[in-house]
Structure 1
Amino acid sequence: MQKIILILALALLFVSCKKEKDEVITVKKTIIRKAPKNISFHFEDTKQWLSENPINKQLQIVLAVNRMDKSHLTKKDSILIPGDLSGDIEFYLPFPLEVPYLIPVKKIVFFSYPTQTFAAYENGELIHTGPTNMGRKLAQTPTGLFFTNWKAERTTSTFNDEWDLRWNFNIANKAGVGWHQYDLPGYPASHSCLRLLEKDAKYLYKWADQWILKDDQNILVKGTPVIVFGKYDFDAPKPWLQLTENPKALDISPSEIEKITSPYLDDILTEQEKRENRKQ
């Protein structure tokens, strides 16, 4: 009997090993999320709300909802507040939690101009999201597909040598466009870069991949794909203000992400394969 059990175990092991060799299995992360009981938004007096000493998690959600950093938030008379602040931050921002179309893509970042938010995905699973302030009307952020290249924990802006940029990750080398920590006043205000809160800039700085260079003129492998999409109406009220009337007004669907990504998918997967081949 023991011999039969041993033979069966070895047979199962052989089949399992053969399956692993013949198939590429994508293992998705298991992310436990806490959803609020409901999603609604209203305006409150800023000083009054801050005087109630919200916990850090609640403050981070409110900063994201208003697309601001704390120093700018405290200067506002009134701010947008979710009715229920018990959930995780991704439930208050527009990107979908899962995009099945992106399962083959190991890493990708999206920046939405209309909603002034960003999202990072791993194999179709949202792993990080937050607010951004992108290029102002006279210096708009270019849209399309980019790849991360070089990064620097601290660097100086090419527009003004007095601007100190933290956690900078460049996505358009010649144009000097990248994401980094800098002031978030609550509207597109940059000189084409993608401004982030420090916690988000630091996260993406550590998470995204740099390019691999052959020499000063040639790239062997590009970095993490980045898609900047959509248009911002600079002459209209801030889009997120309409959330008081319709909490789903800015929601981005998985099908919309698929439509945005599909023209670039071949390039993204080609570069991903190059990086994987370098590891072997």
Structure 2
Amino acid sequence: MLAEDRYAAQLVYEAVRTTEEALARARRPGREARARWGLLRARVISEPTEYAQFATFSCGDPATSRSVREVQATIRMLHAGRLDPAPTVVVVESDREELLALCCLRRPHAEEGSGADWTVDIPAFARANAHRGTVLSDGRTTLGEAALHAGLEVISKACLGRPLPAVWARILPYNSESHAAFERLGFRLRTPMRRNGTVEEQVVRALAPDLPWPQPLDPAALAPVRSDTSALAPLRQGTHFSPPEIPRNAPCPCESGAKWKLCCEAYFS
């Protein structure tokens, strides 16, 4: 076995282990004692630069978590208009319009081996750190899972009679909460991608178009998303996602306190 193959297998093993641990924690007594929200709503943010809560959204400590750094950098740059083309962002809000969770969607060209004629990538999803451990009124769905459900609903409404796409997400192997959320919605582990012959550190979670998608949540817990085919525009042929133009010595948008070149630049390149 090549060293790259051993490394890929190690990453998948770590992802499986952390997923199992997260699912086991969720089944422990005391889960039902967590706070619950009433009816929540989800919507597509058509003008991310005008959605003020993106400027302050926090999903954890960027100084200690790479996953937090990458998500918060994505949201800050989305709010600043630095992502070209910008992903579609779906938010979950309380009845007071407080941002609780979000899910970003991109529609790149269909990837070889995806088994579908179109593909959707989830570059970021998160729940607000202030509401970690909170579930919906159904007593089981986490805010992160609610954001994923909302994202899948937007994707479904963008199909307009077409077959469902393959949906991908790249996740660090030790990000247990994210792996558990994707696992519960039916996303299965795949081997890490290779870029220029090198195995990426992130493993892939994929929801195949030929397998059953998760059932929608109870509308009494999460109101249906208002969306249509225009919410998820495809990437134009011949275009690519361009890295943001940020001076390398500038502070990283994730607010970790580190320079861009030493923090999130590699992820967005």
Q: Note whether the superposition's TM-score is higher than 0.5.
A: no
Greater fraction strand: 1
Larger Rg over CA atoms: 1
TM-score when scaled to structure 1?
A: 0.22
TM-score when scaled to structure 2?
A: 0.22
